[in-house]
Structure 1
């Protein structure tokens, strides 16, 4: 059974528990009052559970920015529907409310467009202050905001998403409404988390097959590979090496890149993922061919439905590779693809005749190529009027 831990202030826990009565998984509630405790709570509990959920985005952001996540982290949040429902109820109870005197403490100015686009006129907008959810001093910042707004008599009500602020607002006699995700929202979040963890668990058990080719294999090659990952099976065949391991060990050891760094050039590799050895081996072969095509520059992990670039390459090279892959599906050679990329980078506009000269192909072939690109939304054509004859068709590339 999947085990989840929910990090939450105690005064939010009952709402969460009521929402999750029908969920069949093991759930542990871990309480906190201080944002400084979150990092330690995650580290202390992460290995005991399959996933950790925080009761809101603050805990999520603080943990995410404080530690390296080794157990999946999620959070509950309100939806637009939740927020509008609260606002409707406030408006129903206070028909003459002035929303420009309402402080919403969990929305920063740059996020207001997302939440309230075309709802308020400029002069009617609620009060928003800059907030940083990853700041462990956030509670103190919010308390100062409440006090200052009260002193300056600028607020009638605070809408807060933060349950640990409730007692403070009560003690300061500041009117507030506490917003929390709906039961349906909480339940759906947990169901999505369970589904995500099930996928992760099954993926970790998938098999990785590595096919490696060296110019020369050293005597201690097996020992060198095991120094990167002990949890793999190695088979040496002349200049080829086959590696078998679980996906979880493959990711944890980062073996594909570490082998590339260790042996540098004179080294070809292909990595395949599958539910069984034959599937993984087949995908490794495809990855090996792709690695060969890029002159060992790019390492791929190929599965039945996807390809992942593992190499540490810059964004420009990665973009070029992606374009070449698109053009390859249209049976355009790598050499011609590279020439087309140059035209694309230089924002060149070409006619059929221009392209034929540039690629050293016939105009008929160039015309077929351009039509194929246009049909696949990789080129756009425009008719240009000329002094004599029919208008000329000019193409620009949109890779």
Structure 2
């Protein structure tokens, strides 16, 4: 068969291979073929003896083009890759020191702060943070009053690396106790708010285009080479909050978890199982994210995933039970005991003990009426703090403080019920 006929056959061959003119073997790459089969040949000699003959099949050209694009993407993302690598290695050098639970959280010698045998409980505290991790340390609130039983469960989750989900009414301190536990144990904390419009890319990351200043050589008016700075657009992959937390060993708090679409929370499932995170759209160096030993996953919501039974939390969704089953610890957070809530009002506002007690008594009655179906709204500790602050500003008028902070948001029927009870608790206009 002539070379021309061979070329025609190769052009129509279904496997897309080209013909090597040395031995009439059909291959995808002439360069690879002569290197393996004809070591006495070079690609330059082949081109000289068979000018115009193709060196690669279309399949090989497609592979080369794809590899070229991957290299370009990797080069564009190299600065970010280096940052991620250094961020991942930095926290690995961090160390722990042991502290006693009751001392670290300033709980005194309360029996609840000790082990079942009455012994102090050791807790790990991180040391040696890098600069990036320091930016994510929560601010310590020295006036925060802990629910010791709930705090123990949160700390167990962090110590044993058990994903923890806290749910309950608004204002019960679900996120705050997680933040303050992280602040005392020096664990960097990143909080992500979930909404029905959240997408996977908001959690995992996405490709972005940004302007980068580069130096290039140009000829000036005299024909001399000069270096000038120009703006150049570069494409890079920006990591989302979840892989950042996993790489750096931070606490990742998925807030308002029951607001997210189940298709989005599904991306958390391998992470909740302690496995690596695969990001299919990321460049190769970001495609597999292995969790750092210090990484922790916590979440909060107003429901336990089965839907809103109260009608208060519009936008919450019935969630995938398989997803929620992956949380090792699930706890309903209820409103605090009266004495703890009274102490919080005093520490936050400076209100006297007797007046704080009246406000808390009022709040607990409102909550009881809500549970009994007599009114359609409950009151949170944050509203009580505002009530106390406003009441102080108005010279001890706690009724007015409660109206401004809470009652004015109620329906007219509910507001009248609450006002009648306020009269009984607070008396006249001023306490």
What TM-score do the two structures reach when normalised by structure 2?
Answer: 0.24
Highest CA radius of gyration, 1 or 2?
Answer: 2
What TM-score do the two structures reach when normalised by structure 1?
Answer: 0.26
